Chain A
Amino acid sequence: MKVTTRVVLLYILGLAVFFIARSVFVPDTFGELGHYRAASIGEIESLKTKVGENYECFNCHVNEYVDWSVGEHRRIACTSCHGLLKAHVADPKNHSAKDEFLSPYAYPTMTDFCLSCHATSPSKPESFPQISVEHGREEMWNCTRCHNPHNPVV
């Protein structure tokens, strides 16, 4: 009889140790939605966005908006050529509009930037406007001398 009581006590003690250890090691919200930490979804959701939206630019750059909205480039987002510029939007006076990765400043020259889309390549769709090597040679290879980037048709 005494042995049975001891076994039962030992068993309960074992269970207690297990559940205490479990509550310590298993993080909060684990298993709420599945075999993962549900709070992680909120953590990833709360990361800051960096790529800006068009309307943020048009608050100030009205002339560019007018050009862009009727031009061939009207379906291209501002950020696609000008970069993220979140700092510029937040504080336009102290942050210049130069992005080192998504803008002409990421390429050696303005022309290289234009060619990053418009260079001729057999892999590109045929309907996409691609320029030949000879085009504009005499213009010192500066596309913007003739084309307005916001409304590029001459």
Chain B
Amino acid sequence: MNRRKFLIASSAIASGIIGFRLARGEEAEGRATGYIFVVDVRKCIGCGRCVRACKIENEVPLKPYYFRTWVERYVWLKGEKDLKVDSPNGGFDGFPNIYSEDEVAKSYFVPKLCNHCEDPPCVQVCPVGATYRTPDGVVLVDEKYCIGCRYCIQACPYGARYLYPRDGPRESRRNTADKCTWCYHRITKGYKPACVMACPTGARMFGREDDERILRVLEENSVSVLKPEQGTKPRVFYIGIDSEVR
């Protein structure tokens, strides 16, 4: 075998392997996305039940600054161009009434959680493959494999991730990235996520992609996603938000 033949043969084998891998990747991407989460901000009353239920269900540290889901208050004051956003303790204790009825032009609460993007930046940046998107479209963190480098926390445009503190209640999760899993351990058993269960007004809705109830909600309302310009294709849809909500 001369050098020319060797080069031709080896490049043929290499392109075959790459082509096979690409074809397999496309197949994986074409799978069903699974679940849809809908947040109706017109119903949210900012009571903080979801934040409490989430923290208990998922062993999230009870101290401030650690949230898998939290609630923000958006306020437009009369005569002021800029809006005001606050989230005292993530809404855990509710929202103190600091604005009077007369000065507020418009205001509502916006519950936030991981958007479980179809094209998640956090998964792209993980150097060890510890965060991933499951075949049914939920973005999860492998707590045994995460090295705690915080790349994903930086990459998330929604600030949905945090580093589980070293004194957190769940030992195996310490010093790893943690985030909302849509209560994966509940939804795979047929239950609803803890925040959806705890919501007293039905502002949070969750269902499979083929669930007619959730499809009707999406059809009947004008829905939007957070930061569509990021191209992350979120699977959490919001009803009744303005474009300033980010």
* Given A36-B132, A79-B53, A123-B46, A47-B200 contact (CB < 8 Å): no
Which chain B residues border A106 with CB–CB below 8 Å?
52
Instruction: Determine if B45 and A125 form an interchain contact, defined as CB atoms under 8 angstroms apart.
Output: yes
- Nearest Cβ on chain A to B186's Cβ, whole angstroms: 5
Does B6 count as interface, using CB distance less than 8 angstroms? no
Which residues of B sit under 8 angstroms from A73, Cβ to Cβ?
Answer: 200
- Does A105 belong to the interface (CB within 8 Å)? no
Contact A123 B140 (CB under 8 A): no
A101 sits at the interface (CB 8 A): yes
Residues of B within 8 A of A10 (CB): none
Residues of chain A with a CB closer than 8 A to B55's CB = 101
Q: Does A80 sit at the interface, judged by CB under 8 A?
A: yes
User: Is A77 at the interface (CB under 8 A from chain B)?
Assistant: yes
Report the minimal beta-carbon distance from A88 to chain B, rounded to whole angstroms: 14
A131–B210 Cα distance when bound, in Å, is 40
**Residues on A close to B: CB < 8 A?**
27, 30, 33-37, 40-41, 43-51, 53, 73, 75-77, 79-81, 83-84, 101-102, 106, 116-117, 119-125, 128
Whose C-beta in chain A lies nearest to the C-beta of B105? Answer: A122
B132 touches A35 (CB 8 A): yes
| Interface window among B7-15, B93-101, B159-167, B223-231 | B93-101
Rounded to whole angstroms, the CA-CA distance of A121 and B94 in the bound complex is: 11
B residues apposed to A, CB below 8 Å: 28, 42-49, 52-53, 55-57, 62, 73, 75, 94-95, 97, 99-101, 104, 107-109, 129-135, 140, 142, 144-145, 181, 183-186, 188-189, 191, 194, 197-202
B45 touches A41 (CB 8 A): no
User: Most chain-B CB neighbours within 10 Å: which of A36, A81, A128?
Assistant: A36
Contact A80/B199 with A49-B186, A116-B48, A121-B97 known, Cβ cut-off 8 Å: yes
- Please determine whether A27 and B52 come into contact, CB atoms closer than 8 angstroms: no
